[in-house]
Copies of this chain bind each other. A is one copy, B any other.
Amino acid sequence: MIKASICTIGDEILIGQIVDTNSAHIAAAMEENGIEVRRMLSLSDKHADIVETLRKELEQSDVVITTGGLGPTKDDITKPALAALSGSTGYKRDERQLEIVHRILRSRGLDILPVNLAQADVPDKAEVIPNELGTAPIMAFSFEGGKRLYATPGVPHEALGAIPLILEDIRRHFPTSGHILHRSLMVYGIAESALSEKIAPWEEALAADHIHLAYLPNTLTGIRLRLSTTTGTEHEQKALIERHLSELKPLLGDLIYSWQDDCLEATVGRLLKAAGKTVSAAESCTGGEIAHLLTTIPGSSAYFLGSVTSYAISVKEKVLGVKAETIAKHGVVSAEVAAEMAEGVRKLTGSDFAVSTTGLAGPGGDDSNPEGTVWIGVASSRGIVTVRKQFRNDRKRNIERFAATALNELRKEIERSL
């Protein structure tokens, strides 16, 4: 098995100013491709320490991936450290990355400064993998014994974008053994421990067939169940995994929202598009998060008409048509207000479906509606469904859970109407 180390370079991580998410993304991708991550490290912007540490990692790992320290400013010193480590005697300017630098700055209407051009300079022993997402290139270096070191920028979306390019290079340089097959399905609305109990016998049967199961929980997407196997041919692997998957449906029913690797908003979009239907949203406590999630999907303008964030009561009444007496009688956080909000925005936009939220993300709450309470409404030609949920997180996390749960209730109602 190929062994890898992941090194994050930058003082901002060592003083706890930012949380390192790049390493987790890279590690997950390595693991999916059958590469064992031996260790992760975070180093400060100190030349000698970077050189020494990377040298030691290359003794024990086949692949070392660094992120960070490639910016144009003086505190970014990964490049000279890699020059020293690789025995480079100077720098060369990479024409492909230079073109990208020009293109990016031009498109932003910015002047091109010497410091920008220097972004395309790499140690002469580096092989450049052009980075289309930013001005700093991805670099690869070869070391004794065919080992490879990759350096990517630390900007998260650039590091993310570099992963498939690095994997492609790894596949070229390291002969792989067996094939790895992964299949994921998505589950929402059950805790990890409860899910684990529910499918325990099924999970045991998987193990007997050399299929590994991973639970990958996420606030916005629920739990991803990932099945992986390295045993057998690709054809055998597919057949085996399909057989086990078919036994999962009766166990989990509509807790499963996707048999692929889709998030909730993509699933809702796919269902609406297929049915030729539209949706709108009326958000109070989620403050725009549902609309934001729906519109992260390319092409969402085909089914998402719009939304109203009604933070103030006046907006609930005036724009959405929620009745003042409903609020007076039941309170803002109530099934009745959720229902009138959903029906209100459905009428206002003329959409087929509408989803609404009213609740308390916190901090603060009261006895009848503690912090973390949300009422969700889903309106359609079938009528209005309302659901109450209670979470126990901080404000940001509560907002995410409210929005994801609302999307899931919307998803279930769309499925029921088909």
Contacts and interface: CB of A to CB of B under 8 A. Distances in A.
Interface in A12-69: 12-21, 23-31, 37-44, 49, 53
B75 A215 contact: yes
A73 interface: yes
Contact of A301 (B15, B26, B108, B312): B312
Contacts of A27: 13-16
Contacts of A26: 16
A305 B317 CA distance: 12
Contacts of A306: 308-312, 315, 319
Contacts of A41: 39-42
User: Which of A194, A311, A350: most chain B Cβ within 10 A?
Assistant: A311
A26 to B, nearest CB: 7
Nearest to A184: B17
Q: Is the interface of A mostly helix, strand, loop or mixed?
A: mixed
B42 A40 contact: yes
A287 B291 contact: yes
Contacts of A283: 288, 291
Given A296-B399, A306-B319, A392-B107, A350 B197 contact: no
Contacts of A309: 281, 288, 291, 295, 306-309
Contacts of A20: 19-20, 23-24, 40
Contact of A314 (B135, B203, B289, B349): B349
A319 B348 contact: yes
A196 B115 contact: yes
A142 interface: no
Contacts of A296: 287, 395-396, 399
B288 A372 contact: no
A314 B307 contact: no
Contacts of A72: 192-193, 196
A113 B193 contact: yes
Interface string A110-132: 11010110010000000000000
Nearest to A38: B44
A75 B217 CA distance: 13
Nearest to A180: B15
B14 A298 contact: no
A142 to B, nearest CB: 25
Contacts of A298: 362-363, 395
Contacts of A74: 196, 203
A261 to B, nearest CB: 9
Contacts of A210: none
A73 to B, nearest CB: 5
B43 A14 contact: no
A317 to B, nearest CB: 11
Contact of A108 (B11, B157, B191, B295): B191
User: Which of A281, A290, A312, A399: most chain B Cβ within 10 A?
Assistant: A312
A292 interface: yes
Contact of A319 (B14, B290, B308, B396): B308
Contacts of A110: 191, 194
Given A113-B197, A216-B12, A304-B311, A292 B295 contact: no
Interface in A369-394: 372, 390-394
B108 A392 contact: yes
Contacts of A15: 27-28, 31, 37, 182, 214
A71 interface: yes
